[in-house]
Amino acid sequence: MTEMTVRDALNRALDEAMTADDRVLVLGEDVADPAGGVSGVTKGLSTKYGDDRVLDTPISEAAIVGAAIGAAVDGLLPVAEIMIMDFIGIAADQLINNAAKLRFMTAGRTTAPITIRTQVYAGLATGATHSQSLEAWFMHIPGLRIAIPSTPYDAKGLMKTALREPNPVVFIENVKLYGTRGDVTEEEYSVPFGEARVLRAGSDVTLVAISGTVPEALAAADELAAEGYSVEVVDPRTLAPLDTARLAESLRKTHHMVITHDAYRTCGVAAEISQRMMECAFDYLDAPVARVTGLDVPIPSGPSHLSVVPDRVRIAEAVRGVLN
């Protein structure tokens, strides 16, 4: 095992994949050296593999994703970067009406094995059009896979799976987590899609945490443990497919559930998870499922931005409320 950051784990996954398979290529804005991506995830790759496999593109998200789809149809394995998730709407038609539908509309004869890397800046004072967590948009679209890791181990393992997935993958990285450190095995491995991970075992309440809220959820669980509450923290790791069975298994044990994510509350991932729990584990609930999410407002810049995304204080309050 080697300790590394989420950023390094993603870089390592891409490096190893490009070494193992010359069909893998990277494209996006400023992905080549010396920038190596706005957050450094692709740093060193263009120097090692050349500009025919690490392509700096014009500032056009639709062109980036469209080119990736064309490359995939032609037999390549493109990794396309949308620098900030707020901009992914510009490529929505390419993703929703082309990539996601290709396998269905050709009766399986043609697929679009593309990986769309995109970054979320929630909680970093980057303003209303650079801070949104929009993963729920793409959960609604059949044919897309959504990976959203929170640890270095999962980041590398899920990226390896994404690069072998025949369907298009939206791979969501939270910039707040890039510096998070953790152990990653040097051996070849992958993390299967659709398998949630229990980060902390508990017996009183299931706390489902997604992406950037995972550290806050774990901190809240530590605080609550000092008060005598046993909190089980579960990270879904992928949202499509979503591991409903594992979440329901935890709920049947604890009889309480709180769900937290940075994204907006209305029609968010928490709403979908909550409804699934109603359908498959309602008889085990001793209280309504609680949601701790971003507020339904444009995200401001400056210090006030912290008031609209979840933190350990809000999460701990929600857990106390559910249990009491």
Catalogue the active-site residues. Answer: 130
Count Cβ atoms below 10 Å from residue 26 Cβ, excluding itself: 26
Give the separation between CA 206 and CA 216, rounded to whole angstroms: 15
Strand order in the sheet with 77-82: 54-56, 24-28, 77-82, 115-120, 169-174, 145-147, 238-240
Report the largest interatomic distance among the alpha carbons of the chain, rounded to a whole angstrom: 60
Give the separation between CA 256 and CA 70, rounded to whole angstroms: 47
The strand pair at 231-235 and 197-200 is best described as: antiparallel
Give the separation between CA 295 and CA 32, rounded to whole angstroms: 36
Nearest CA among 94, 90, 82 for reference residue 37: 82
